Structure 1
Amino acid sequence: MTFGINNISTLQFASFNRLNVQSTSLALQRAGQELATGRKADIFADLGSNAVSTIKMRAREADTQTFMKSNDLIGNKLEAMVLSVDTARDNVQAVLERAITNASRPHIDAGSLQRDALAALDTFVAVMNTSHNGDHLFSGLDSDAAPLMRWSQTNAATGLSPQDAITSIYGAGPVDAATAATIAGQIDLAFASNDAVDPNRNFEATMYQGTPALDGGGQPSEQVKAWVNSGQQVTYGVRANDTAFVEAYKGLSMLAVTDVSTLDEDAYVTYMDSVINALSNAQEGMRAISAQIGFNQQIVESAQNQLTDLSLIQRTQIGNYENVDPYEAATRVQGLEIQLQASYEVTSRLSGLSILNFLR
């Protein structure tokens, strides 16, 4: 009978042990990284074909986070817009109340209407020119420019200020009800941007610098829009050339251009009637605009809540794919440490072996 003996030299054993130490060290390093980070060190190697799922999930979560950041910005803009509109409405309301008090004839305080209108007009323009992160909120798509010109500010394109434009229409002022109606009608045309006599006096020529009401083809201009969720878009643009704001500027301008207390009685009643109609229309319109902005705020908030819930689900699923059990990782680290320590001890013993120990 023949016996086969497989001999392994000390050199071979040492080499094998060295490779074992190296692989164990790498495994320990990887396990230590997973224990420290809570995530798999090599996701693609560990997940295999399931890695595609986590890639898709991370892409969806990135889109979700983009929507959420955008919605935060839109929400802040809408909040600033509604505050601005409410401030403008309160400002106009104070002048309207004073005008209604003096509707049929000028009272003792009628002479202060011009001063009040000028102050209100300055505040109104400042509020409408509010900007957020460099974008003017009421300029439409042309948000790099402030939408409204101040009463005495000259527009470089026309060479006129709003004061110049209205003063040229008002002239010496009305002397009776008929001329008061004529002047009021001409002012209406200018604020409707239909002044054919001098187009430079039009609201959108001299007083307004944002996106025009109509585009080059005569169609309504695009409003500011934003995607708040996948497949969900909201139109939230409010412009300073919306009817309510135009009416506010018109009513205040009609008071700012003259001291109405000096008008003929019949002219006064007719002229003040136009002023009160304009300011009343402005109040109603701005109230409706505030309500619309509030509705858009609800849409954005609802979308944001949906995205928050979706993000939680997606991050949980990503964690299920990529995270490691900390207890399992700690146990693995401990086992590898023991294994590595044993390998070091064997290596140490082998290094102490020598044939000279047996030849003494």
Structure 2
Amino acid sequence: MSWLSTRMSSYQMNYFLKGSVSQASLALQRAGQELSTGRRADMFGDLGPRAGVAITMRAREENTQSYIEANKVLENKLEAMLSAIETVRGPVEDVLQAAIVNKESKSLGAAAIQAQARAALETVIGTLNISFNNEFLFSGTTSNAPALNRWDSADADTGLSPEDVIAAVLGSGPTSTADVTTMMAEIDQIFDGTHSNANYHFEASFYNGTPELDGGGVPNNRIAGRLDQDQELVYGVQANDQGFRDVIKGLAVLAAVDIQDIADEDTYRDWMDAAVNTLSDGQQGVLAASANLGFNQQVVENAKLRLEDISIVQRKQITTYENIDPYEVATRMSSLETQLQASYSVSSRLSNLSILDWYR
């Protein structure tokens, strides 16, 4: 070996030095990349079989982040739904209080109740038709359509508006206590879907979303969201839930009839009693929906916090595999720079050799 080295030509020496310089330059470039990014430039080469573990952990972390982002969107969606429900409760409560004041007899505010109830109807319907990310929030799984028809807008299938249906049943209003009983029974049939005229049903001429029951009488699925790989949350609140039906029914009774035209006192009291009881039931139902949404918000928040904690652990584990020690890399770079400088110096001296040097 010493014989070969002592007899190696300057060309061969220069060739080997160029190869050494090239390798050292590549190593220096890689070390610089690692120092700037903080991550291994060749994870497979450095980790060998352990690289598969790092890839699996990275995929798991990406999956966790997707759930975190989805939960953030769901939080905003639930907040929008809760805000809408609170908006519904306000005008309904105002009408309810006015009706209670006028329940036994007509007071000064009786003249305004019909207009107040009609305005509240418009607010309730408009609010329950809100959308979020191009999805109508209270339409159930049929989220591409507004939940409710406008009060005076005809349904595309039945050709009847909600106002048409109520007017067909109530006409000019009750004139006796018997009328109150008959009319309210028919109104109940409209809102519970048992009326003999199917076009009068709430889910036919009032509501456009997912029906409460399918064709076989089985409850339809509600909107649900997956909080993580193992947890699903059913959070759907629909405009055909009983609380909203009662609210619309109570407001419709007061909006369709001018209570000042009810001359008989007993008839008036029975009519107002029915309206107040229906609105009270509706308010209780809407309040329950609000409380349920608030509970669901807490469930989503807890799931998001749990996933964020898991993400912290996973990212620390990934760091141990993918990241480099900057001090070790800096030391390696310094060594490579020294090596390159020595190689450049030798190459420079070899390139300056001449046959004339042998005669000196």
TM over 0.5: yes
Alignment equivalent of 1:5, drawn from 3, 6, 22:
3
Structure 1 residue aligned with 2:84: 84
Where does 1:135-214 land on structure 2 (aligned, <5 Å)?
Answer: 135-196=135-196, 198-214=197-213
1:106 aligned partner, one-letter code? K
State the alpha-carbon separation in 1 of the partners of residues 298 and 229 from structure 2: 17
CA contact (8 A) 2:154 2:162 kept: yes
CA 1:4–1:164 in structure 2 vs 1: closer, same or farther (change >3 Å)? Answer: closer
Residues 35-77 of structure 1, C-alpha deviations (whole Å, 9 max, x = no match): 1111000011101111111111011111101111110111001
1:220 aligned partner, one-letter code? P
CA contact (8 A) 2:222 2:234 kept: yes
CA 1:176–1:134 in structure 2 vs 1: closer, same or farther (change >3 Å)? Answer: same
Structure 1's unaligned 5+ residue stretches are none
Secondary structure at the aligned position of 1:283 is classed as helix
State the alpha-carbon separation in 2 of the partners of residues 200 and 104 from structure 1: 35
Structure 2 residue aligned with 1:356: 356
Structure 2 residue aligned with 1:38: 38
Residues 10-44 of structure 1, C-alpha deviations (whole Å, 9 max, x = no match): 12111111110010011001001001111000011
Query: Is the counterpart of residue 75 in structure 1 residue 75 in structure 2?
Result: yes
CA contact (8 A) 2:172 2:257 kept: no
Secondary structure at the aligned position of 2:35 is classed as helix
Secondary structure at the aligned position of 2:3 is classed as coil
Secondary structure at the aligned position of 1:5 is classed as helix
Secondary structure at the aligned position of 2:225 is classed as strand
Calculate the TM-score normalised by the size of structure 2. Answer: 0.97
2:104 aligned partner, one-letter code? S
Secondary structure at the aligned position of 1:234 is classed as strand
State the alpha-carbon separation in 2 of the partners of residues 294 and 4 from structure 1: 85
CA 1:4–1:106 in structure 2 vs 1: closer, same or farther (change >3 Å)? Answer: closer
State the alpha-carbon separation in 2 of the partners of residues 16 and 172 from structure 1: 107
State the alpha-carbon separation in 2 of the partners of residues 215 and 342 from structure 1: 83
Residues 60-116 of structure 1, C-alpha deviations (whole Å, 9 max, x = no match): 111101111110111001111111111111221110000001111111211111000
Superposition deviation, residue 335 in structure 1 = 1.4
2:84 aligned partner, one-letter code? S
Residues 229-287 of structure 1, C-alpha deviations (whole Å, 9 max, x = no match): 12111100000000000000000011111101211222211111111111000111111
Number of aligned pairs? 357
1:195 aligned partner, one-letter code? H
State the alpha-carbon separation in 2 of the partners of residues 209 and 281 from structure 1: 23
Superposition deviation, residue 137 in structure 1 = 0.7
Structure 2 residue aligned with 1:52: 52
Where does 1:1-360 land on structure 2 (aligned, <5 Å)?
Answer: 5-6=3-4, 7-196=7-196, 198-263=197-262, 264-359=264-359
State the alpha-carbon separation in 2 of the partners of residues 269 and 152 from structure 1: 28
Superposition deviation, residue 4 in structure 1 = 7.8
Calculate the TM-score normalised by the size of structure 1. Answer: 0.97
CA contact (8 A) 2:250 2:279 kept: yes
CA 1:336–1:114 in structure 2 vs 1: closer, same or farther (change >3 Å)? Answer: same
Greater mean alpha carbon deviation, residues 329-338 or residues 308-317: 329-338
State the alpha-carbon separation in 2 of the partners of residues 314 and 26 from structure 1: 32
